[in-house]
Amino acid sequence: MLIQQLVNGLLLGTTFALIALSFNLVVGALDRLNFALGETAMVSAICGALFMSQLDITFVLAFLAALAIGAVVAGITFLLSFRFVSAEYHTAPILSSLGVGLVITSLVTRVVGSDQRRVPSVLEGVRIEIGPLRIVGDQLIILSVAALMTVLLYGFLNRTPWGTAIRGVSDDPDMAGLLGVPVQRVILLTFVISGTLAGASGLLTGLSFHTVSPFTGFETTLTALMVIVLGGLGNITGGVVAALMIGVIETLTVAYLSATYRDLIVFLLVGITLVARPQGLFTRNTGVVGRV
């Protein structure tokens, strides 16, 4: 039973890791938080669920659509909340992105309603049993897709010219601009990538619980904030480790105590971390170079 719950927690943690990576990429690019990423994940998941349940398209196409929707929403958020907002007002992007998130939630509830939407099972009936451990088909998809996207992100950041540009801008945007790097385009690309990660996290989380709700955006943002505070703001490796930790803690709490205490224990852990080690379990970084 314990092994099963640990595996379930790690699988849940992989979806948290994707949204934490999404937040940390924006931190690396602008040293700012995009508070609309939770709603970006939500609207991507809602659209993916509707495509699968009502249009009867495959999970692969629905997943690609969720990635595209997440990228578009994140790009629009950048233009509305960051690109044309003066850097002198540090709280302006925060408040603006919060406003964008509220608008997204309002639009979704008006268009599709406020009810939860079912996410159909992809590999229903498929399961792997190893002794007391049982892994169903949907869990295999979640693990495989999350791991693949993390590896692709690592390869992109460290093996491509655009990835090098992102790392350069995250370390020193002024110097990168003097060397001919199109800084604003690189930041826009970073937002687009963060949106695809958020879209993937939203749909995979929906697949994990088989439901999505228009009101999960703030909860997703709060979870991501706890992950990056625990792992270290801007630290990609720390974010992944912290996400897996929180996934395991939440799952074990629900299994052996009560769902009532799930958030309480995580909040206590984050609070203790802030008091004892404010920079997080890993060192805080403002860029994405060398953090993986």
User: In Å, what is the CA distance from 266 to each residue of 9, 124, 159?
Assistant: 13, 32, 36
Q: Classify 227 as helix, strand or coil.
A: helix
| pLDDT number for residue 176 | 86
List the one residue out of 46, 51, 67, 52 whose CA is nearest residue 110.
46
| pLDDT number for residue 261 | 85
pLDDT (tens digit, 9 = 90+) per residue, 159-194? 999 999 988 888 888 888 888 889 889 999 999 999
Task: Catalogue the E-assigned strands of the chain.
Answer: 117-118, 127-130, 133-136, 211-212
Assess whether pLDDT exceeds 80 at residue 222: yes
Q: Classify 135 as helix, strand or coil.
A: strand
Query: DSSP H helical segments within the chain, as ranges?
Result: 2-30, 37-53, 59-78, 91-112, 137-159, 161-171, 173-178, 183-209, 217-231, 236-256, 262-276
Predicted confidence band of residue 262 (pLDDT cuts 50, 70, 90): confident
- Mean pLDDT throughout 21-36? 86
Euclidean distance between CA atoms 194 and 23, whole angstroms: 7
| Cα pseudo-dihedral 137, 231, 93, 216, rounded to 10 | 30
| pLDDT number for residue 198 | 95
| Cα pseudo-dihedral 130, 208, 265, 263, rounded to 10 | -160
Amino acid 69 reads I
| pLDDT number for residue 91 | 81
Here the tokens at position 249 are: 């803690």
The DSSP annotation for 170-188 comes to HH-HHHHHHTT--HHHHHH
Assess whether pLDDT exceeds 60 at residue 291: no
C-alpha Rg value of the chain to the nearest Å = 19
Q: Classify 245 as helix, strand or coil.
A: helix
Assess whether pLDDT exceeds 80 at residue 1: no
Predicted confidence band of residue 285 (pLDDT cuts 50, 70, 90): low
Mean pLDDT estimate for the chain: 87
Phi, psi of 113 (to 5 degrees): 95, 175
Percentage of the chain modeled with pLDDT above 70: 96
Q: How far is CA 209 from the centre of its chain?
A: 16
pLDDT (tens digit, 9 = 90+) per residue, 57-103? 999 999 999 999 999 999 999 999 888 876 677 788 888 999 999 99
Assess whether pLDDT exceeds 80 at residue 124: no
